[in-house]
């Protein structure tokens, strides 16, 4: 069911970054024209609510400077003039950065995140800041203060000519980076920055039929990424094909003195990776009871596809997987409780307009008015876990189990090169179905297959695999996890997977 206006700009907007760069170099297209085409696409897809803020003036300025560089034959590189979007939890200097929360509704940061700076330095054109679940807590992009983002493949009750007003019938985009995923899938940009703490890049990428990459923890600076959970957060990259993701990754990784958790490792290049001599692990623990049969079938089909291509497939065990969600919840809430102490109505962000409050009531009322229920419940849970009498029982224990989860992966990677798993647990889901569930729990339950890679700091990617065969024809993505710091190897194998899967990019054809 294809909904959003079909027009003839898709063949252009669906090109790869390499192809666009060639068009720029040979003067068949200018960065300003491309910016205009993407801007038109944003207007055409407005009903999907993928952007919180459009950066028209900046984009216009960046693209015309890029024009000049191409005219002088001196572009900065492959990303010069490429339209991108950025999730609204990355600080952008003098550009509103809201985290989709009333708390930061009018926050204009005085600095750029390192990744934003690096992208600007390579000449990109910023289209805007994308919608997300408030403070990146959620799995549907349903929890934004600015309203949900919507999936371009609509519910079958929506007809081509008449979009229904009842948005409950529309499919969820997945989250929390739903806006970034929609912006890429609909051709408003060529790549997007997202973030990934428990799956927020891979989850919406899998639902939208695009590539969503979470690099190894420590390779890309988090400086200027408004934290959800320091020890798990990683900037993510979305694009419509693996090579475009790789180009952005190459621009972004590297040690940053402003983020002490970035590492100064030389990441191995992958020249020697023999794509015909690989062993792929299938972890038995990921075959959970509540896994959608459609996703389960796609997972098996992918296994057959890889076996037919000559790869070895091996069943493996990651025995502590079952504990991972609970540990994730505890660590996530505990770090949230501490990270969110700065939102008190005094330092920055929203402040209640109620007068005559004492200091404590000012804090309470401000937070009560400006944070949603999911955020508040995590702050409360986190403070409970961090109480003196609970600290060992919950927080410390979770850290120890986290170590066991990491060791599971280390052991598995002694016998396999990559691990293939589902991304989401559920497949089709419209807002009505989603809203019937308990959001505080559901926000995390969807992360069953994705958050272990965050716990272990491993690179993981969601790759579009196929469209389901029922009448929705929604995309299904699958996840591949690699060894720590083997990010380029993972991307190289992902290109092979992409070639084998031949996923059709149908939305606007
Ligand atoms: N669903 C996860 C959560 O709510 C996603 C977090 C993320 O990756 N930003 O914690």
**Hey, how many other C-beta atoms are within 10 angstroms of the C-beta on 107?**
16
3-class secondary structure, 277: coil
Are the beta carbons of 369 and 350 closer than 8 angstroms?
yes
More confident residue, 472 or 264: 264
> Would you state the pLDDT for residue 7?
53
> Would you state the pLDDT for residue 10?
72
Question: How many CA atoms within 13 Å lie on the side-chain side of 382?
Answer: 21
> Would you state the pLDDT for residue 165?
66
Closest CA to 498 of 278, 313, 152, 243: 243
- Residue 219 pLDDT exceeds 50: yes
Report whether residue 138 contacts ligand 1, using a CB cutoff of 6 Å: yes
> Would you state the pLDDT for residue 8?
62
> Would you state the pLDDT for residue 506?
57
What is the DSSP code string of 317-369?
--TTHHHHHHHHHHHHHHHHHHHGGG-SSSSSS------S--HHHHHHHHHHH
Q: How many helices (H) and strands (E) does the chain have?
A: 17, 11
Report whether residue 75 contacts ligand 1, using a CB cutoff of 6 Å: no
Report whether residue 187 contacts ligand 1, using a CB cutoff of 6 Å: no
Task: Using the mean position of ligand 1's atoms as its centre, give its distance from the Cα of residue 226 in Å.
Answer: 13
Closest CA to 70 of 21, 141, 133: 21
Confidence of residue 175 (pLDDT cuts 50, 70, 90): very high
Task: Using the mean position of ligand 1's atoms as its centre, give its distance from the Cα of residue 144 in Å.
Answer: 13
Task: Using the mean position of ligand 1's atoms as its centre, give its distance from the Cα of residue 449 in Å.
Answer: 12
Instruction: Give me the sheet containing 191-196, strands edge to edge.
Output: 51-54, 125-130, 83-87, 191-196, 234-239, 211-214, 460-467, 475-481, 418-422, 279-283, 312-316
**Hey, how many other C-beta atoms are within 10 angstroms of the C-beta on 159?**
11
3-class secondary structure, 183: helix
Average pLDDT, integer, range 353-380:
96
Tokens of 396: 């410390």
> Would you state the pLDDT for residue 500?
97
Angle at the Cα of 384 (from 378 to 387), degrees rounded to 5? Answer: 140
Task: Using the mean position of ligand 1's atoms as its centre, give its distance from the Cα of residue 15 in Å.
Answer: 31
- Residue 2 pLDDT exceeds 60: no
> Would you state the pLDDT for residue 154?
63
3-class secondary structure, 314: strand
- Residue 269 pLDDT exceeds 80: no
pLDDT digits (tens, 9 = 90+) for 12-28: 888 999 999 999 999 99
454 CA: nearest ligand 1 atom:
8
> Would you state the pLDDT for residue 31?
97
Are the beta carbons of 418 and 490 closer than 8 angstroms?
yes
447 CA: nearest ligand 1 atom:
1
> Would you state the pLDDT for residue 448?
96
Residue 414 burial (CB < 10 Å; 0-12/13-18/19+)?
Answer: exposed
Report whether residue 454 contacts ligand 1, using a CB cutoff of 6 Å: no
- Residue 279 pLDDT exceeds 70: yes
Residues linked to residue 208 through DSSP beta bridges, in sequence order = none
Q: Which of 87, 134, 139 to mutate to test the pocket of ligand 1 (most atoms within 8 A of CB)?
A: 139
How far apart (Å, rounded) are the C-alpha atoms in residues 406 and 483?
Answer: 11
Confidence of residue 6 (pLDDT cuts 50, 70, 90): very low
More confident residue, 7 or 152: 152
Task: Using the mean position of ligand 1's atoms as its centre, give its distance from the Cα of residue 454 in Å.
Answer: 10
199 CA: nearest ligand 1 atom:
8
Report whether residue 455 contacts ligand 1, using a CB cutoff of 6 Å: no
Closest CA to 144 of 89, 202, 92: 89
The pTM for the full model equals 0.96
Report whether residue 331 contacts ligand 1, using a CB cutoff of 6 Å: no
Report whether residue 444 contacts ligand 1, using a CB cutoff of 6 Å: yes
**Residue linked to tokens 């380029």:** 488
How far apart (Å, rounded) are the C-alpha atoms in residues 455 and 152?
Answer: 32
176 CA: nearest ligand 1 atom:
9
> Would you state the pLDDT for residue 508?
46
Average pLDDT, integer, range 444-460:
95
Residue closest by Cα to atom 3 of ligand 1:
137
Are the beta carbons of 441 and 373 closer than 8 angstroms?
no
- Residue 368 pLDDT exceeds 80: yes
- What domains does the chain contain, in order, with CATH numbers? 1-509 (3.90.1300.10)
Known catalytic residues are 87, 176, 200
Are the beta carbons of 463 and 478 closer than 8 angstroms?
yes
> Would you state the pLDDT for residue 486?
95
- Residue 362 pLDDT exceeds 90: yes
Beta strands in 131-222 (DSSP E): 191-196, 211-214
How far apart (Å, rounded) are the C-alpha atoms in residues 438 and 138?
Answer: 11
How far apart (Å, rounded) are the C-alpha atoms in residues 193 and 245?
Answer: 10
Report whether residue 443 contacts ligand 1, using a CB cutoff of 6 Å: yes
Confidence of residue 441 (pLDDT cuts 50, 70, 90): confident
Q: How does DSSP classify residue 275?
A: T
Contacts of 452 (CB under 8 A, 6+ apart): 318, 321, 324, 405, 409
Report whether residue 233 contacts ligand 1, using a CB cutoff of 6 Å: no
3-class secondary structure, 215: coil
Tokens of 286: 């990921």
Task: Using the mean position of ligand 1's atoms as its centre, give its distance from the Cα of residue 359 in Å.
Answer: 32
Report whether residue 218 contacts ligand 1, using a CB cutoff of 6 Å: no
Tokens of 225: 């990424």
**Residue linked to tokens 């907007």:** 13
Q: From the CA atom positions of the chain, what is the Rg in Å?
A: 22
Residues linked to residue 281 through DSSP beta bridges, in sequence order = 314, 419
Q: What is the largest CA-CA distance in the chain?
A: 73
Residue closest by Cα to atom 10 of ligand 1:
137
196 CA: nearest ligand 1 atom:
8
> Would you state the pLDDT for residue 1?
32
How far apart (Å, rounded) are the C-alpha atoms in residues 107 and 170?
Answer: 30
Contacts of 374 (CB under 8 A, 6+ apart): 133, 134, 137, 138, 143, 439, 440, 443
- Residue 302 pLDDT exceeds 70: yes
Are the beta carbons of 312 and 279 closer than 8 angstroms?
yes
Report whether residue 324 contacts ligand 1, using a CB cutoff of 6 Å: no
Are the beta carbons of 219 and 257 closer than 8 angstroms?
no
Task: Using the mean position of ligand 1's atoms as its centre, give its distance from the Cα of residue 461 in Å.
Answer: 16
Q: Which of 87, 133, 434 to mutate to test the pocket of ligand 1 (most atoms within 8 A of CB)?
A: 133
Are the beta carbons of 92 and 113 closer than 8 angstroms?
yes
Q: Which of 106-110, 230-234, 267-271, 298-302 has the lowest mean pLDDT?
A: 267-271
Q: Which of 87, 130, 199, 328 to mutate to test the pocket of ligand 1 (most atoms within 8 A of CB)?
A: 199
| Mean confidence (pLDDT) of the chain | 93
Please report the sign of the dihedral spanned by the C-alpha atoms of residue 407, residue 408, residue 411, residue 415.
Answer: negative
């Amino acid at each position: 069911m294809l909904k959003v206006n079909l027009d003839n700009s898709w063949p252009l907007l669906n090109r790869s970054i390499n192809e666009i760069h060639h068009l720029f170099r040979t003067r068949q297209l200018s960065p300003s024209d491309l910016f205009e085409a993407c801007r038109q696409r944003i207007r055409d897809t407005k009903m999907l609510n993928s952007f919180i803020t459009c950066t028209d003036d900046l984009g216009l300025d960046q693209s015309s400077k890029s024009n000049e560089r191409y005219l002088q034959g001196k572009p900065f590189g492959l990303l010069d003039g490429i339209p991108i979007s950025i999730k609204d939890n990355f600080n952008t200097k003098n550009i509103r950065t809201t985290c989709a929360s009333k708390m930061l509704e009018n926050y204009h940061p005085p600095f750029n995140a390192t990744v934003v700076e690096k992208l600007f330095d390579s000449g990109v054109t910023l289209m805007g800041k994308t919608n997300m679940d408030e403070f990146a807590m959620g799995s549907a992009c349903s929890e934004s203060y600015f309203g949900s983002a919507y999936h371009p493949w609509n519910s079958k009750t929506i007809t081509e000519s008449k979009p229904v007003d009842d948005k409950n019938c529309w499919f969820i985009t997945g989250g929390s980076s739903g806006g970034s995923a929609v912006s890429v899938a609909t051709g408003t940009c060529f790549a997007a920055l997202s973030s990934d703490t428990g799956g927020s890049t891979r989850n919406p990428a899998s639902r939208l039929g695009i590539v969503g990459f979470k690099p190894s923890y420590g390779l890309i600076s988090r400086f200027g990424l408004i934290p959800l959970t320091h020890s798990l957060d990683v900037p993510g990259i979305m694009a419509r094909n693996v090579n475009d993701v790789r180009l952005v990754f190459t621009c972004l990784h590297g040690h940053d003195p402003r983020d002490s958790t970035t590492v100064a490792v030389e990441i191995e290049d992958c020249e020697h990776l023999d794509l015909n001599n690989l062993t792929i692990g299938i972890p038995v623990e990921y075959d959970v009871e509540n896994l959608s049969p459609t996703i389960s079938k796609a997972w098996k089909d992918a296994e057959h596809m890889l076996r037919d291509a000559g790869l070895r497939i091996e069943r493996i065990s990651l025995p502590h997987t079952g504990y991972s969600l609970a540990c994730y919840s505890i660590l996530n809430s505990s770090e949230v409780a501490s990270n969110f102490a700065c939102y008190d109505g005094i330092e920055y962000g929203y402040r209640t307009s109620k007068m005559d409050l004492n200091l404590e009531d000012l804090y309470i009322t401000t937070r009560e008015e400006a944070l949603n229920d999911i955020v508040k419940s995590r702050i409360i849970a986190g403070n409970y876990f961090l109480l003196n009498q609970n600290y060992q029982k919950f927080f410390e224990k979770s850290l120890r189990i986290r170590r066991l989860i990491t060791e599971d992966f280390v052991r598995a990677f002694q016998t396999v090169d990559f691990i293939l798993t589902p991304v989401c647990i559920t497949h089709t889901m419209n807002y009505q179905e989603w809203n019937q569930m308990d959001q505080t729990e559901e926000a995390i339950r969807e992360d069953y297959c994705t958050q272990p890679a965050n716990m272990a700091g491993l690179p993981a990617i969601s790759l579009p695999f196929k469209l389901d065969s029922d009448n929705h024809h929604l995309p299904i993505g699958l996840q591949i996890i690699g060894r720590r710091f083997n990010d380029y190897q993972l991307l190289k194998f992902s290109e092979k997977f992409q070639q084998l899967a031949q996923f059709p990019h149908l939305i606007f054809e």
